[in-house]
Amino acid sequence: MSIINNAEVRDMLETSKTTFGSILLAGHFSYAVFMLSDGHKVDRWGGKTAICVGAIGSAFVNLVSAFLFYSDYHTVPSLMVCNIMNNFFQPFGSLSVIKINSSWYKVSERGVFSGVMGVMIGCGYFLALVTGGLILDNFPFWVVFAKPGILLGIFACLVWTKVSDKPDSKLVDMEDERLSSEKDFGVEGAEVVEQPSTDSKEGEGGKSKKESLAGTFIGDVKKVFANRSLRVLCLAMTCVGWIREGFFSWFTSFLEEVYDIPVGTSLYTFAATGVTIGGMFGSLSGGYISDRFFDSKRAPVVGGFFLLQGLVFVVLVWGIGPDNPYGAVACTTLIASLLFGTLTLILGCASADAAGAKGSGTSSGTLSFFAYTSSGISSFVNGYLIQNYGWDLWAICLLPASFCGCLCCLYLNHVQNAERKAKKQRDIQVRRDDAL
């Protein structure tokens, strides 16, 4: 939505920043709810089927949106409905990628995988921000929606014919799977979310299939919340969602109004390219650092990224003047790099580390629920504050979440160290008892 969150589009829709924030709010709330439910569906259907369902559905909604703008029927309610429908199908994409790759990668390789996932997300932002800006500058507005609709249809066919849910020879053996359930952000003893049963009956009570599915869904979500590490990560993802959408939904308007960098200019294209390439670099570097230097523990790296992005945001809003647009572009690139790294490390690694391959969809869907609930509130609140109080309040609204996320990771790292120390002591005591 960043590409259409500018003065020209808001004037065309006859909306204020606050009203546009309400459109984002509706989309993100629906996305949050569907993330929670779709994660469970991904675990049941398998990643390949789920991603094809999501791609085809999202393609249809985008083509409908293109038709609405083409026929000049682009009302706020119609856009809200399309946004909600699109956000039902979109979660299948990211959750299915995590589901499929959790079967292909071992725990010690998932940091690098999260970087690859971040590159894919970055490519999506590149298509939206860079090519979308060029489309707005040279073609009718409806083409912005027609383009992803066509591409999604093409890639749905490619996924169905070329992608496999699991490798032919299982690369993740039972020991690796055990470790994946014990090293959620480096914490031993995380409970595995088992693969939901597909039986039509459950237990001796002979419940119906519908009742069984509902019970399994609730049971799996309860297992996620029973994990202390995941409870802390839910709070961290709340901070990620607040910062990410508060930044990505409004940074194009910030550059346009404060630094006179409107959509379609060469400097805007440079900024959008920097954001996407920076995001790719942040994802790859964060995953590599966590695997290579922190023994596949994510908390120290994520905490550092949280802290740095808050400091860079201070520099962007108050450290450089409006006569330094290149400095602003550099700051937005660095912020995007740190945000992508934070998001992909938590979502791409933590969910698979905590739940293993079988329950990664439910785990990542639950974390995403908190992120996108926060994103929806952030979009609306930031739109209201920017509309009424200016861009200084934008920064003041986002900064606390950066430092809160850092504190979450510090606490999590402290818990991890204590639990690892206690586990070593128990192992030593067990060996002593066996020796006696």
Q: How far is CA 413 from the centre of its chain?
A: 22
DSSP state of 3: G
DSSP state of 317: I
What integer pLDDT is reported at residue 271 of this predicted model? 85
What integer pLDDT is reported at residue 180 of this predicted model? 41
Q: What is the mean pLDDT of each run of 10 residues along the chain (436 residues)?
A: 56 66 71 79 83 91 88 76 82 80 71 76 72 75 85 91 72 42 39 40 42 58 77 89 86 86 82 84 86 83 92 88 87 90 79 62 82 83 84 87 91 78 82 76
DSSP state of 261: -
SS3 184: strand
> In the numeric block, which tokens belong to residue 231?
């409870």
What integer pLDDT is reported at residue 307 of this predicted model? 93
153 closest CA partner among 66, 60, 87: 60
Domain 2-164+225-427 classified CATH 3.60.15.10? no
245 closest CA partner among 29, 92, 410: 29
How many residues comprise the chain?
A: 436
> In the numeric block, which tokens belong to residue 392?
């200084």
CB 356 within 8 A of CB 102: yes
> Measured between alpha carbons, how far is 23 from 376 in angstroms, rounded to an integer?
9
In Å, what is the CA distance from 209 to each residue of 174, 202, 203, 337, 417? 30, 8, 12, 45, 43
Q: Please, which residues have CB within 8 angstroms of residue 274's CB and are 6 or more apart in sequence? A: 329, 330, 332, 333, 336
What integer pLDDT is reported at residue 304 of this predicted model? 93
> In the numeric block, which tokens belong to residue 287?
């995953």
Beta bridge partners of 184: 187
> Measured between alpha carbons, how far is 186 from 354 in angstroms, rounded to an integer?
9
In Å, what is the CA distance from 177 to each residue of 58, 194, 290? 33, 12, 19
In Å, what is the CA distance from 122 to each residue of 126, 343, 353? 6, 12, 23
Given CA atoms 391, 393, 396, 402 in this order, what sign does their dihedral have?
A: negative
SS3 326: helix
DSSP state of 109: G
> Measured between alpha carbons, how far is 337 from 170 in angstroms, rounded to an integer?
33
In Å, what is the CA distance from 303 to each residue of 56, 133, 297, 428? 37, 33, 11, 31
What integer pLDDT is reported at residue 244 of this predicted model? 86
SS3 166: coil
| Side chain identity at residue 407, one-letter code | L
Beta bridge partners of 187: 184
- Helix-, strand-, coil-residue percentages of the chain, each rounded to 5: 80, 0, 20
CB 240 within 8 A of CB 201: no
Domain boundaries, the chain: 2-164+225-427
Q: What are phi and psi of 170, to 5 degrees?
A: -65, 115
Helices and strands, counts by H and E, the chain = 18, 0
CB 151 within 8 A of CB 199: no
CB 2 within 8 A of CB 279: no
In Å, what is the CA distance from 395 to each residue of 133, 163, 312? 25, 42, 11
